[in-house]
Chain A
Amino acid sequence: MRKISRLGAEAKLGWALVSPALAVIALIAIFPLGWTFWESLHLHELRMPWLGKPFIGLANYVEIAKDPRFWAALGHTAFFTMASISLELMIGLFLALAMNRVFRGRGFVRAAVLVPWAIPTVVAALLWRFIFESQGGILNAMLVHLGLLKEPMVWFIEAKTAWVPVILADVWKTTPFVALLLLAGLQNIDLTLYEAAAVDGANGWWQLRHITLPLLKPAILVTLIFRTLDGFRVFDLIYVLTGGGPGTSTEPVALYTFNALLQNLRFGYGSALSVVIFAITFALALFYVRGLGVRL
């Protein structure tokens, strides 16, 4: 009897301690989420207050489905996410394998890669914009000097070339994070497996393919989740690097939504866009967790 009541008291204490944090999260994150949905069912143009805020059902969603700029933005976001993540996984895996080895200067490498991760994304974007900026900029000067380019290029004038700095900057900024997650996975691998393989005469490549990669799969999947969701909400980087331009040719969904909300003050439509982004992110997370069986 005493044991049970003690357990009950424990549970009460547990909930009591957790509840302030949960209340904060519910009040400022979950409640607004519901509000976004409610808002998305209305016509709400802050520019035209005389229209009031009439309920229009799913009309905003119908407009989204027919909005070419939204579909283009969705395509840009998907392209950006896939291109940057595949590069980040490859380079991150290499870095993780490197940091898992013993060599002189390992501490330096680890510190050096952590700095891009820690600085503001806005700053990272500015650094890369500055490198690619102007025909007289440093990158053009170097490429011409090395004979890789005949003439300096204007990188930001065309969508095709404007993606280069965007993706490079993202790879530069987030590969450290990827490498760290993978390194944590690598350090959980039992070293005796390698010893046994070495005794059997297996070389480094064989070990990488048949021991490291299979056992690293959970860590790779976790990384993939985090990065996919990050990629889908990309905002700062593109806002600063290209502003979504030229035109709207590099505009991601988050930027389009931001513009609908705070540039055009279309709160109903912008909220519907927000809900769509949330739904896509949620579906992606669900797909990873249920479909691929990632255990977090």
Chain B
Amino acid sequence: MAGGPREVVGRTTPRRATPVKWGTWIFGAALALLMIFTLFPFHWAIVASFTPDAALFRDPSLIPTQVIFDHYRALFTDRDFIAPIRNSLVVAGTTTLFCLVVGTLAAYALARIEFRGKAAIMAFILAVTMFPQISIVSPLYLLLRSLHLIDTYPGLIMPYMTFAMPLTVWVLTGSIRQIPKDLEEAAHVDGASRRQSFTKILLPLAVPSLATTGILTFIYCWNEFLFALSFTLGPERQTVPVAIALFRGQYQVPWGEILAAAVVATAPVAGLVLVFQRRIVQGLTAGAVKG
């Protein structure tokens, strides 16, 4: 990292000879500390999920001394943790699919067609993504109750649209805008209709954008808590976050099982993020900053 002439052209900030080493050391140490801070809860949760409950709060050890699978077994036999996973998959999956279909049309219009009122629509959508969920809990509850939809899948999917739809449209619009227009314009010159240039040219090019947006929307739905807590009544329709948050033991908090459940709930999202990290970062920031 010495401030030679070549480095000047690169990404690194050029520094002079002596402060360089100190700077690098401090930088490295701070980064290492941050990484420990970031990863430690995961490490401890995974270790604890394989540790007998009795050993968790008496001389807890960061390195597993005794590995048991009881918590995971209990999760799927005594508790039927499959049900919340199924509920979360159904609710998050349906919401994401519906938002993608409807959102793609809107995003295409917002990214490719010039019409009056577009800026206002974008501002409106952004405003809706920001408004607090709690402010519509009461009418949604009354509405769902009168439609007998409390504790049902539609009773969750509908409220989920309130945040998923604006999010999908916003991120997808940002993402489609970054796809070059040349091919579509060339197709227009050759006499292709809008419908053709949309289905034959843009849509195939937009598959990665759709995937990223879908992943983001899915993650938001998978993680949602307030609506799921408000509009479900019992374990039958509870989603994963609600089920975990309401875990109760007979006499004490069943930490081993809670952590096993946390590991199970986190694994799919963590996997998605690790595989698609580059795209997710692009999707997030394209929507948030450059919009």
Which A residues form the contact surface with B (CB < 8 A)?
A: 7, 10-11, 13-18, 20-22, 24-25, 28-30, 32-33, 35-36, 39, 91, 94-95, 98, 100-102, 109-124, 126-128, 130-131, 133-138, 141, 172, 177, 180-181, 183-185, 191, 194-195, 198-199, 203-204, 207-208, 219, 222, 225-226, 229, 232-233, 235-236, 239-240, 254, 257-258, 261-262, 267, 270-271, 274-275, 277-278, 281-282, 285, 296
- Residue picked from B41, B102, B138, most chain A C-beta under 10 Å: B138
Q: Which residue of the partner chain, among B60, B143, B240, B273, contacts A118 with CB atoms under 8 Å?
A: B273
Let me know if B241 and A11 touch, CB within 8 A: no
B200 in the interface (beta carbon within 8 A): no
Give the residues in chain B near A117, CB-CB below 8 Å.
273
Let me know if A115 and B273 touch, CB within 8 A: yes
Quote the shortest CB–CB distance from A262 to chain B (angstroms): 6
A203 to B48, CA, bound (A): 47
Which B residues form the contact surface with A (CB < 8 A)?
A: 3, 8-16, 19, 23, 27, 30-31, 34-35, 37-39, 41-42, 44-45, 48, 56-60, 62, 102-103, 105-106, 108-110, 113-118, 121, 124-128, 130-143, 158-159, 161-162, 165-166, 169, 194, 219, 222-223, 225-226, 229-230, 240-242, 244-245, 253, 255, 258-259, 262, 265-266, 269-270, 272-274, 277, 280-281, 284-285, 288-291
Let me know if A39 and B138 touch, CB within 8 A: yes
Let me know if B240 and A141 touch, CB within 8 A: no
Give the residues in chain B near A172, CB-CB below 8 Å.
37-38, 41
Quote the shortest CB–CB distance from B138 to chain A (angstroms): 5
**Minimum CB distance partner of A12 in chain B:** B115
**Minimum CB distance partner of B143 in chain A:** A32
Let me know if B59 and A141 touch, CB within 8 A: yes
Interface of B is mostly: helix
A266 to B168, CA, bound (A): 34
Give the residues in chain A near B138, CB-CB below 8 Å.
35-36, 39, 261, 267, 270-271, 274
Quote the shortest CB–CB distance from A172 to chain B (angstroms): 7
A180 to B117, CA, bound (A): 31
A236 to B141, CA, bound (A): 18
Quote the shortest CB–CB distance from B200 to chain A (angstroms): 17
Give the residues in chain B near A127, CB-CB below 8 Å.
41-42, 44-45, 259, 262
**Minimum CB distance partner of A122 in chain B:** B241
Interface of A is mostly: helix
Given contacts A98-B31, A112-B35, A180-B281, contact A11 B289 (CB under 8 A): no
Q: Which residue of the partner chain, among A18, A102, A261, contacts B137 with CB atoms under 8 Å?
A: A261
- Residue picked from A14, A134, A136, most chain B C-beta under 10 Å: A14
Beyond A11-B113, A102-B12, 14 extra complex contacts between A and B, CB < 8 Å: A11-B115, A25-B165, A29-B166, A39-B138, A100-B11, A121-B241, A123-B241, A138-B44, A172-B38, A185-B289, A254-B134, A262-B141, A278-B132, A285-B127
Give the residues in chain B near A101, CB-CB below 8 Å.
11-13
Given contacts A120-B223, A120-B241, A236-B241, contact A13 B194 (CB under 8 A): yes
Quote the shortest CB–CB distance from A52 to chain B (angstroms): 15
Give the residues in chain B near A124, CB-CB below 8 Å.
41
Q: 21 pairs across A/B with beta carbons < 8 Å?
A: A35-B138, A35-B142, A91-B34, A101-B12, A115-B42, A118-B223, A121-B241, A126-B258, A137-B56, A181-B285, A191-B11, A203-B16, A207-B13, A219-B289, A222-B289, A229-B132, A239-B245, A258-B134, A262-B230, A267-B138, A267-B142
Let me know if B222 and A120 touch, CB within 8 A: yes
Give the residues in chain B near A7, CB-CB below 8 Å.
114
Let me know if B8 and A277 touch, CB within 8 A: no
Let me know if B134 and A235 touch, CB within 8 A: yes
A18 to B120, CA, bound (A): 12
A25 to B44, CA, bound (A): 41
